A and B are shown apart, each in its own frame.
Chain A
């Protein structure tokens, strides 16, 4: 990406790029997603450079603690356990958990989580923790990635999969007629970006000021409308046609407007 501007600090952003629509790799191999574009936009607004480094979800917090990255931006739910070892930005997203089942299974939330059911979730996610805590009688099966859990659900080895609402919707959209959302549990979890404990590099004020600027200008809502709802193909096509406005022209608002308008077409 663009030449490193002189005198601008550079921060490494860690992200597990396999969780659409927050972060994924396009058909052409580009890293895109809501988290990543917010990171890119804030970097431009606050005058620093970023390098996005793909890191498995489980490893992001250890890597930030070990100083192998500066910012974790990967749909992290803010919780006490994590807040003990890293510092979070103010929340930028509220998410609930969805229960996905095979279409026609006739299960509601209570049925899908009844004693003896096999329920899948991604390792290290709040969905996994939530099932463990509230439904000790279900058999919880943990997966390295969300897609693997969905495959096991389709194969009939699981009764349900617990995951955040937006990725769940994407999964259901990818298997028309095969999967359905049995119900949504309003956990009201909040996502935050995270940095090393004590914020030694002073990044949190930059994130907070950048997020405020994005929201004031309207760019934030445009990004939300572009990323949450449409299919991935539509998003990718619009993103590829407009991303240079962000990366080359460095015009955050114009990018968000163009991107959102192209997606809506």
Chain B
């Protein structure tokens, strides 16, 4: 790795950043999908009648049990067997999003179960409906509690977005490969820069989530009591 390689790489950093934007788009898509479905699955696992609970557990078991790359290929190649053409980007958002929802559901389920049952009983005795209790008493506390676990999931899926290059999404790894295919000596510097980008993003993201956690903290609130 020579100084020359670094000086050749420097002007290419914007190209890598372009790729990184695609990773961030993937991240935004998969985290939102994972959040919505994750909360729903957690609620079903805690509150729904047994048959629904079994379905949610099966869903979680599948998406936590299949390797990410396999999921990516299933979602990319699978739908075309039924005549549905799905873009590589959408396939990646769906595959990684469903997978993340399975992990996120565990974070939320744990947080929901950490809220003392006494609170539910108290709210019910004041005349709140069951849904009202979940919405106004349980979830506002549970979502705050999940932030710590959620920051872990954020760091994990942020890096998983690079796997999308396996099905042809032109994200930062793919851009790095374009650079090295054209100019082999750039390989090491390019991957070092990509690594730095992810280190910075992970730090910034976790810092943001930590800030949110402190902002949303309710003084005096305890998880069990």
Contact = CB atoms under 8 A, between A and B. Distances in A.
Interface of A: 17-20, 24-27, 29, 53-56, 59, 62-63, 66-68, 145-148, 150-151, 171, 174-175, 232
Interface centre among B165, B167, B168, by most chain A C-beta atoms within 10 angstroms, is B168
Contacts of A24: 178, 181-182
B7 to A, nearest CB: 14
B15 interface: yes
Nearest to B180: A147
A59 B167 contact: yes
Contacts of B103: none
A68 B85 contact: yes
Contacts of A67: 80, 85
Contacts, number: 67
Contacts of A63: 77
Contact of A56 (B18, B168, B178, B188): B168
Contacts of B166: 56, 59
Interface string B162-194: 000111101000100111111111011000000
A145 B190 CA distance: 15
Given A145-B181, A174-B184, A232-B183, 7 more contacts: A17-B178, A24-B181, A27-B182, A29-B18, A145-B180, A151-B188, A174-B185
A17 to B, nearest CB: 7
B76 interface: yes
B81 interface: yes
Contacts of A151: 184, 187-188
B184 A147 contact: yes
A218 B174 CA distance: 35
